[in-house]
A and B are shown apart, each in its own frame.
Chain A
């Protein structure tokens, strides 16, 4: 009985500490000008993605043969493509696809990778060795290659790109969380939770993982950026989103054929990808500095 009240009390204490910790981190992020710029970029793209139908001036898929390959004008803010589709509107809707791919594939990586890493680090022994060798094998595929392999098997399309980039990020999380859990499981609060009679699963998920959140959050911010870049790369290779989906990488790839006469078709989608990735990277840098007690 008394142990239960004691754990309750520590939980309340932890919660209070967490809110102040959250404020502390927020303060440091806000003071970091680069991170604020990153937040502004992400916020901008979020607004564009959410209100896409109101911001777009034309339909993203409506073709018009009379207005093919036009340079930017008042009617078509960023010009038109070879089928007369409005590039600005296509890119506005494309922001939805890139953000979705970034968020969902990162979520897949977290949901699959974090438990693998946690269990591997917590139990150790043979299970850990087997898991780590398996992760070694996944890491043996350099960079975007693992995603390419998965897409080859699953087939092309936005959904499969999400799964492929998600799977490709699993080893990163598994490694990261295993390391954190290895360090965390020696802490006294784990011994306390065990003494209170809690099972392994609730110790891992309720006590250890919440304390390992910082590196997971930082990694996820960078991972969203990586996923967006990889997805655009797959789209560019023709292995990602298929026509007429207005995915930025695919738009860019399509515009390649007309680069000499209408380079706006390659320039602007590339800039959009660059800024979105830059936004997440800047916030990731800021969060890393804010969450690291050494640099605070």
Chain B
């Protein structure tokens, strides 16, 4: 097991390096002069020259990349060209908010998705099954930013139950979390249902029934444990959806998290912040997938730890 974890950790090193290369390249591959891009549209030639020296943009590319990596290792991602504050400060301030939003969303998605999936599978072709699978289909297809606006319109503008935007009390979290979690809930419901149906057909379930166990014990103790394995594997995918969706959801609900920071930074051409945020989100995603892989290996004894990293 430890060997497996070590192996997987080792495999992420080139990935992290590659992510750093791509993030570094964002500014360098921009059409035009990167110094001008950082300095801003209205900058004077002298200021652009200053920026070029300060950001070491006059050095050869490999030297620049070395400096960039050193900075990342020291936790120095440069300064925002808009607020002039260190990028790490900007991110540190906003990241907990995105994490809060994503966690609540994932909790909602798991409870709703897995719950609906189990009930659907045990009452196949019932009204509940058909209705929840229809909702799940729509949930996957609905654009997250549209759902956000519709929920805002209904619960904030018309019914006035919840605040439309901003952050503060728990009531501010409800709408963005439901919005962000909807697609994940839909996906989880579909996967749980099909996985549960597959497990319920297996021999050991028949054996459990023959032993005279109650349906409750069979479903929650025997079937669920096995049916959840595929659900766990898509957890990493869920986080991907959540982190990507956070960019859109945070924009609609004016939730001051990392996603909104990224969009604002792109629109303001604040490239140090773009680099820092993209780097953080990608690293986070890589780490989450690593954890999910380990949990998966732990849950499914059929996986061989040696060489388990390859498909």
Chain A residues within 8 Å of B, Cβ to Cβ: 133-134, 136-137, 140-145, 148-149, 152-153, 155, 179, 225, 229, 232-233, 236-239, 249, 252-253, 256, 259-260, 263, 266-267, 269-270, 273-275, 277-278, 281-282
What's the Cα separation between A61 and B153 when bound, in Å? 27
Q: Among the listed A142, A179, A277, which residue makes an inter-chain contact with B243, where contact means beta carbons less than 8 Å apart?
A: A142
What's the Cα separation between A270 and B146 when bound, in Å? 6
Query: B149 interface residue, CB < 8 Å from A?
Result: yes
What's the Cα separation between A152 and B141 when bound, in Å? 25
Chain B residues within 8 Å of A, Cβ to Cβ: 11, 14-15, 18-19, 21-22, 25-26, 29-31, 137-138, 140-147, 149-150, 152-153, 157, 239-241, 243-245, 247-248, 251-252, 262-263, 266-267, 274, 278, 281-283, 285-286, 311
Q: Among the listed A140, A152, A249, A282, which residue makes an inter-chain contact with B274, where contact means beta carbons less than 8 Å apart?
A: A152
* Pair B26/A270 contact, Cβ less than 8 Å: no
* Pair B248/A145 contact, Cβ less than 8 Å: no
* Pair A137/B18 contact, Cβ less than 8 Å: yes
User: Which of chain B's residues have a CB closer than 8 A to the CB of A144?
Assistant: 244-245, 247-248
What's the Cα separation between A70 and B142 when bound, in Å? 26
* Pair B247/A145 contact, Cβ less than 8 Å: yes
Residue of A145, A249, A267 most packed against chain B (CB within 10 A): A145
Q: Is the interface of B mostly helix, strand, loop or mixed?
A: helix
8 extra interface residue pairs, beta carbon distance < 8 Å, beyond A149-B22, A179-B311, A259-B149? A137-B18, A137-B19, A142-B243, A143-B240, A152-B26, A236-B143, A259-B157, A275-B141
Q: Given known contacts A142-B240, A233-B143, A237-B263, is B26 in contact with A134 (CB within 8 Å)?
A: no
User: Which of chain A's residues have a CB closer than 8 A to the CB of B153?
Assistant: 259, 263, 266
What's the Cα separation between A273 and B157 when bound, in Å? 23
* Pair B146/A133 contact, Cβ less than 8 Å: no
User: Which of chain B's residues have a CB closer than 8 A to the CB of A239?
Assistant: 263, 266-267
CB distance from B231 to the nearest CB of A (A): 19
Q: Is the interface of A mostly helix, strand, loop or mixed?
A: helix
CB distance from B159 to the nearest CB of A (A): 14
Closest to A222 in B: B140
User: Which of chain A's residues have a CB closer than 8 A to the CB of B146?
Assistant: 252, 266, 269-270, 273-274
CB distance from B193 to the nearest CB of A (A): 13
* Pair A142/B150 contact, Cβ less than 8 Å: no
* Pair B18/A133 contact, Cβ less than 8 Å: yes
What's the Cα separation between A239 and B18 when bound, in Å? 25
Closest to A38 in B: B137
Offer 22 A-B interface pairs, CB within 8 angstroms, sorted by A: A140-B15, A140-B282, A142-B285, A145-B244, A145-B247, A155-B31, A179-B311, A229-B143, A233-B247, A237-B251, A252-B143, A252-B146, A253-B145, A259-B157, A263-B153, A266-B153, A270-B149, A273-B143, A273-B146, A274-B146, A278-B141, A281-B140
CB distance from B96 to the nearest CB of A (A): 19
Q: Given known contacts A140-B282, A144-B247, is B149 in contact with A281 (CB within 8 Å)?
A: no
Closest to A278 in B: B141
What's the Cα separation between A137 and B279 when bound, in Å? 12
Closest to B278 in A: A149
* Pair B143/A232 contact, Cβ less than 8 Å: yes
What's the Cα separation between A225 and B183 when bound, in Å? 14
* Pair B138/A252 contact, Cβ less than 8 Å: no
Closest to A229 in B: B143
What's the Cα separation between A275 and B140 when bound, in Å? 11
* Pair A148/B247 contact, Cβ less than 8 Å: yes
What's the Cα separation between A99 and B137 when bound, in Å? 20
* Pair A278/B22 contact, Cβ less than 8 Å: no
What's the Cα separation between A187 and B26 when bound, in Å? 43
What's the Cα separation between A144 and B149 when bound, in Å? 19
